[in-house]
Structure 1
């Protein structure tokens, strides 16, 4: 196992992009009024951020395979800081959207290179154990970020959220500069066209199957993140109260990660993936029941998602590890590609669902149920082909 300082820095690098995604969720309704836009437009800032985050990951994987992990990480980190400060200073919706995309282009490096650092230093099962430590730390960001962001927005205005984001990113980059070794020696770097690895990764059946599970879980998660602030506001909650509503989900993610780490000692790898997906499907069923009963209070929005959070804490981390450590032999390229598929699909689905169907409990329930069926189908395909230890 890598040292604890290594794991902590990797977790921070992986988290700062997600913190920037989630920190202003409780402030979305007030930002909608500040920019003078319609309700459905504000969730698009999350979707465009995720799209830029997704596409940028395709670039950082091959570049870090060619030039090393740390130089690429440091350059992208500076872009992230500039984008975050630009968001804080934005005077219009269009300017805010542009700075969000610049912020995302920098944040993508932390996700890609964080996963590549783990793959450089661990085999598949050890990687899964490291993810079981990293993911609870990373999972604190979508829960704590809205809590912090809600209080900062209430006390100082929404711009303070992005000043906080820039500060967190600066600390993470400083620690990476001081504490992280270069895990890809010059002799191991790709000398040919670094983008040639995409075809080899995509031909790997294991990569495709694990990535489908990752995408299904993440799509459901981000549809929830873009729908829930409006549903909770309609339920009568304030910005500060909405921020606290994401903590139970983090508890589910952390608990599932802990059980997954223990379960790797006794259960086959894919059986653990399937167990999390079953929880995902149960969450979809409960959501449909709550929507059918027209249960519009906060519990009806949060409690079904707690079941989905168990899949986020188990199947998601295992599937990311499995996709990167599959037989293709291109860790950083696979890291960028799985990140592109994961976040790109979530961005497109969250954007399309909000724009086409609006925000309602029925829309959220239908989306979660649909994505859980996709994940179940991927697990069934895995069982039909062969089991993995």
Structure 2
């Protein structure tokens, strides 16, 4: 019989889940002023986001096996300490090279909370209870990409960009205190698995060679890549259209709101018409949003309004694609779901990291080019999805079963 989760432990899990998103988003409105401080180009500052996401992406493959062998709490505390020290380092840093190294360490540290919090919940709750728990904390996680830039915009406009990292340092410190005094070890020694590199490597290759897994993985990867292409360009797009840092921060609220609404809508539709039909609808909405975003950059007389509106349509579709695509990918290899989950997370965040890095190079921060890239990428994504439907039909029943059990 598994335990219940107390309110204070639920608060800690929420903090751990939010950490990576806050570390990514809080300084978005301050990118321009940070670039001036470090004498860095806009492309350089976008690279600081990409390298953070790269750290999260790679570390997801490492924390899982290590925590299964050594236990949850001490590995978590190590990761949180890395996150804390690297964030203090960013606050004190004076040159761009130091910033990049520290941002990579930030990603590696923040990833501990994201990855290990899921394992802790799995230790404490059965599948049904875990699903209900995630539904409880999801609105907070889903809204964090809006709340963090709003906080960052207010802080940077009034106290300078370093105040964003001071706020983040305090947030991490509170998280460490909660972890020390609230969290008890949830994986007893008798349930720990000896680390076996050979077995892990063979199973990883097996998952990566499995066609349906790769097909379904492409769904959240394209969704994340295109979303982050907009996110890292948005401070430059919206600033060029006349918005100040604080107003740029407020603009992310609609994106998080539509994402949460998309997720709620998708859950209702999936129960009525099935997962596959819901993904179909979500991808159509996603593609329409990407296409309209590209068009409006050329023809809109009110580009601020239409930019936010059309990208909100895309993020509404993301509310369908991210949870259902991820569940479908992992559900396609039920015998290796743990490894598949780590690979899926790595690929998903990795695609966001690559997108964050290359969008500035390809667009040169030109609004029209950014619109074309997002529209074309949306078209490529839906084309790959449509062409792969033959494989999807073979595994649809198994995947629907897996998702319903989440």
| TM-score with structure 1 setting the length | 0.90
Moved more, 216-225 or 270-279: 270-279
Of residues 354, 360, 368 in structure 1, which corresponds to 2:360? 354
Change (3 A) 1:60 1:131: same
Cross-structure match for 1:250: 256
Cα shift readout 1:22-46 (whole Å, capped 9, x = no counterpart): 1111111111222222232211111
Q: Which moved more, 1:16-25 or 1:134-143?
A: 134-143
**Residue number in structure 1 paired with 2:71:** 68
The Cα of 1:129 is off from its aligned counterpart by 5.8
Shift, 1:171, TM fit: 2.4
Structure of greater relative contact order (alpha carbons < 8 Å, 6+ residues apart): 1
Paired residues of 2:56 and 2:349 also in contact (CA < 8 A)? yes
Q: Post-superposition shift, 1:185?
A: 4.1
Contact 1:77 1:173 in 2 (8 A): yes
Contact 1:213/1:375, CA 8 A, preserved across alignment: yes
Aligned partners of 2:266, 2:12: CA distance in 1, in Å? Answer: 22
Distance in 2 (CA, whole Å) between partners of 1:72 and 1:336 is: 16
8 Å CA contact 2:363–2:370 kept in 1: the answer is no
Deviation at 1:166, TM superposition (A): 1.8
**Residues 323 and 103 of structure 1: is their aligned pair in 2 closer, same or farther, counting only changes over 3 Å?**
same
Deviation of the 1:87 alpha carbon: 0.7
Q: Deviations over 1:235-266 (max 9, x none)?
A: 11111111100001111012122223434443
Structure 1 residues 39, 148: closer, same or farther in 2, change over 3 A? same
Query: For residues 359 and 247 of structure 1, do their structure 2 counterparts lie closer, same or farther at Cα, with a shift above 3 Å needed?
Result: same
2:226–2:377 contact (8 Å) kept in structure 1: yes
Shifted more, 33-42 versus 97-106: the winner is 33-42
Whether 2:290 is the aligned partner of 1:281: answer: no
Task: Give the secondary-structure state (helix, strand or coil) at the position aligned to 2:168.
Answer: helix
Query: Corresponding residue for 2:101?
Result: 98
Larger radius of gyration: 2
**Cα distance, 1:283 vs structure 2:** 0.5
1:167-316 equivalent positions in 2, closer than 5 A: 167-180=170-183, 182-194=185-197, 195-196=200-201, 197-293=203-299, 295=301, 297-316=303-322
Matched, 1:142 2:145: yes
RMSD of Structure 2 on Structure 1 (CA): 2.6
Unaligned runs of 5+ in 1: none
Consecutive unaligned residues of structure 2, counting only runs of 5 or more, are 401-406
